[in-house]
Structure 1
Amino acid sequence: MLARMTPVPDPETYHFCVTRDPDLAARVAPVALATFREAEGFTLVLTETEAARFGFDTGLPMTRIMLSVFSALDGVGLTAGVATALAEAGIPCNMIAAYHHDHVFVPREMAGHALALLRATQAAAR
């Protein structure tokens, strides 16, 4: 999967937002890229515009890099390979594995370096 992952950057800026208010989470969910419910609250991945509109903290802008390879839910190694490559360079990442693709979120100011590393990881895996 690493050899076929083709990282594609999203020009939008995203924020990981959290609320314990289920009513707010329900209002925001339709515009969220992703949501996740945990015991501590609801995590919502929102564009910068939507995060600001709903009053969430926008202090950590993130860039999404989609790995445009069909990543089977039972596939092995894609997340580990990507996270390892970024961690070795000191780039934090948050991974979201959806049904069709995996998505890597990195701090916006590190996105260019992260993209170059992921492309190099892809090339090395071929």
Structure 2
Amino acid sequence: MAPTGETDLAKILKTLRPLLNNGEFVFCVVNNFAALKPEDIIMSFREEEGNTIIRKKKLADRLHLPYSFVASWITLSVHSSLVAVGLTAAFSNALAEKGISCNVVAAFYHDHIFVDKKDTDKAMAALAGFSE
């Protein structure tokens, strides 16, 4: 089966097109999904210690879900392949050079980066630098 999406790193980096999603986002650990609407969950991942979800901060606050990190969500609009080599290293190094921590979720079509809310503008500028 041929890969879906772009695999050439140079092309991917030139066409990243970072998009800032509206809102504040948090990572929470939940044991019971009963009180959660699936459409309100951005991402979920089952780990041995518990179920991690990402959702809008205001929805987590409404359910009194604890969190320790308030993030901005940046989507890399380029359709990169899941087998593309070097993309995560390239953008995480660029962000690290600016002192920005990033948490990455790779989905089928796009990569999604969660950065500390205070670093949003610096992160967007660093990512935009790839296409210049």
Shared fold per TM-score greater than 0.5: yes
**Contact 2:74-2:113 at 8 Å conserved across structures:** yes
- List alignment gaps of at least 5 residues for structure 2: 1-11
Verify: 1:15 aligned to 2:26, yes or no: yes
Match of 2:110 in 1: 101
- Cα distance in 2 for residues equivalent to 1:64 and 1:118: 13
In the alignment, structure 1 residue 73 sits paired with structure 2 residue 92: no
Cα distance, 1:26 vs. partner?
A: 4.5
Contact 1:85 1:121 in 2 (8 A): no
Residue 14 of structure 1 contacts residue 61 of structure 1 at CA under 8 Å; is this kept in 2? yes
- Matched letter for residue 114 of structure 2: F
Q: Which runs of 5+ in 1 are unaligned?
A: none
2:7 corresponding residue in structure 1: none
C-alpha displacement at 1:96, in angstroms? 0.4
1:15 is displaced (CA, Å) by 0.1
Q: 1:83 aligns with which of 68, 92, 97?
A: 92
2:71 paired with 1:62: yes
SS of equivalent residue, structure 1 residue 11: coil
Aligned residues of 1:29 and 1:35 also touching (Cα < 8 A):
no
d(CA) in 1 for partners of 2:27, 2:116 = 11
Residue from 49, 52, 57 that aligns with 1:48: 57
Deviation string, structure 1 residues 6-47 (Cα, Å, up to 9, x no partner): 10111211001112x2xx235326121000000010000010
Aligned residues: 120
Instruction: Please identify, of 90-99 and 72-81, the stretch whose mean Cα deviation from structure 2 is larger.
Output: 72-81
How far apart in 2 are the matches of 1:80 and 1:122?
16
Query: More helix by proportion, 1 or 2?
Result: 1
State the 1:106 CA deviation. 0.1
Render the CA deviation track for 1:54-90: whole Å, top value 9, x for unaligned: 2112442100010000011111111111111011111
**Residue in 2 aligned with 1:27?**
35
Deviates more, 1:3-12 or 1:24-33: 24-33
